[in-house]
Amino acid sequence: MRCHMRVAAAVVALMTASACRSHSASQPSDPLLEALQAEEREVNLTYVESQGKRLFAQYCATCHGDDGHGDGQNASNLNPAPPDLATSHRDPALVRRVIVEGSAAVGRSPLSPPWGRTLSHQEVDYLVAYCEALARHAK
């Protein structure tokens, strides 16, 4: 009887171990992560830049346009018009300052708000990286 119990315990242990091994090999997919990775490959953006693109769409595209050309739906109401971020490389420190302090901080229109209290430091990093990517992809 003891021999049968040991054999049964060994069989259960082996089955459990093999089930755990096969389960960990195929983890469930994450649709959001897969979508982000597909977008990164499609438009040749890094993860940081793609996060910046998401934030840009939320906070900046209304004035700067979806592709950063300064042609957003609100651009015609602004004087001066928003700059075309895709035409040339801008100093990342200047871009950061405009995002955090607003464009009035660099002598431009006071209509571009300061996002420094709304966005985290990391989110600002993402936006700066995306603005650099806009200029890089325009070449």
Nearest CA among 79, 85, 81 for reference residue 99: 85
Mean pLDDT of 21-49: 72
What secondary structure does DSSP assign to 33-73, as a single string?
HHHHHHHHHHHT--HHHHHHHHHHHHHTHHHH-TTSSS--T
- Residue pLDDT, tens place only, 52-95: 999 999 999 999 999 999 999 999 998 888 999 998 788 999 99
More confident residue, 133 or 7: 133
The reply to whether the predicted model has a pTM over 0.85 is no
Nearest CA among 39, 35, 38, 31 for reference residue 130: 39
Mean pLDDT of 12-30: 61
* Per-residue pLDDT band at 10 (split at 50, 70, 90): low
Neighbouring CB atoms inside 10 A of 99's CB total 25
8 Å CB contact between 99 and 128: yes
pLDDT of residue 44: 85
- Residue pLDDT, tens place only, 80-139: 889 999 987 889 999 999 999 999 999 988 889 999 999 999 999 999 999 999 988 765
pLDDT of residue 34: 77
Domain ranges of the chain: 44-138
| CATH architecture assignment, domain 44-138 | Orthogonal Bundle (1.10)
